[in-house]
């Protein structure tokens, strides 16, 4: 069953999908880590692949940048392709003073300036949270493999260039890092009765003017990739 954004049929995607923002990162993961790989999506250049990792079926699908883009792709995967769990693997900007470049952060909860949740007409404010099963599996896998991780709140922003320069205010509330996708992913998962988790590598610390390169963001965050794949294997 093709959609306007994903080609293919039911069964083309595994029950668990890793979702980087960059489709070239999806290609890198598929070619580097997966066996019996086939490309299942090329529409709009948003590459998707399905294969196995140590015998476990897994897919990797690019999401693009921002809530609207990941909102579309994760919605279609959950509701039209039978996907049960999506693990976002992306980059984030460190906000908390203790967070350093290349740290790995697990998004337990999401704060946001997005109005994505307005569509549900809720009589209050929802707190989007990760699947505890996925979060626990990722934390336990990291501990078993000796990978340091930080677990906490992320700020999912609609803005990359924020004229109000508000990140310092979110830091006051203990937010670890800023990114641009997770609130839509977590809300789509909640509405569909499915699972979601964000695993991010810190690519920059904007309040300290510290940055990694574009090349490293595309192919260099291999510890995060390994953690996500091992988490899937341990589910």
**Which residues neighbour 160 within 8 Å (Cβ) at sequence distance 6 or greater?**
180
- Contact predicate 18/212, CB 8 Å: no
Local structure of 96: helix, strand or coil? coil
- The encoded tokens of residue 99 equal 């967070």
204 is catalytic: yes
Q: What are phi and psi of 115, to 5 degrees?
A: -105, 25
The Cα 13–Cα 92 span in angstroms is 26
Beta-strand relationship, 35-41 and 149-156: unpaired
The Cα 88–Cα 108 span in angstroms is 13
Phi-psi region of 146 (alpha: psi -120 to 50; beta: other; left: phi over 0): left
The Cα 177–Cα 157 span in angstroms is 10
Catalytic residue among 22, 96, 103, 204: 204
**Run of H or E including 198:** strand 195-205
Q: Which residues are catalytic?
A: 204
């Amino acid at each position: 069953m093709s959609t306007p954004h994903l080609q293919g049929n039911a069964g083309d995607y595994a029950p668990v999908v890793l979702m980087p923002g960059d489709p070239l990162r999806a290609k890198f993961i598929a070619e580097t880590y997966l066996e019996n790989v086939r490309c299942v999506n090329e529409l709009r250049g948003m590459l998707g692949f399905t294969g196995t990792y140590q015998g476990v079926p897994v897919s990797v699908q690019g999401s693009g940048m921002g809530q609207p883009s990941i909102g579309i792709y994760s919605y279609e995967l959950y509701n039209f392709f039978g996907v049960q769990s999506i693990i976002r693997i992306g980059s984030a900007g460190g906000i908390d003073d203790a967070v350093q470049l290349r740290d790995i952060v697990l998004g337990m909860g999401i704060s946001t300036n997005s109005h994505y949740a307005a569509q549900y007409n809720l009589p209050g404010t929802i707190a989007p949270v990760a699947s505890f099963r996925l979060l626990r599996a990722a934390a336990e896998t990291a501990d078993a493999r000796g990978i340091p991780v930080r677990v906490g709140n992320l700020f999912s922003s609609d803005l990359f260039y924020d004229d109000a320069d508000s990140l310092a205010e979110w830091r006051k509330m203990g937010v670890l890092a800023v990114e641009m996708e997770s609130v839509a992913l977590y809300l789509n998962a909640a509405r569909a009765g499915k699972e979601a988790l964000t695993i991010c590598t810190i690519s920059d610390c904007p309040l300290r003017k510290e940055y990694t390169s574009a090349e490293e963001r595309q192919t260099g965050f291999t510890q995060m990739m390994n953690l996500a794949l091992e988490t899937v294997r341990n589910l």
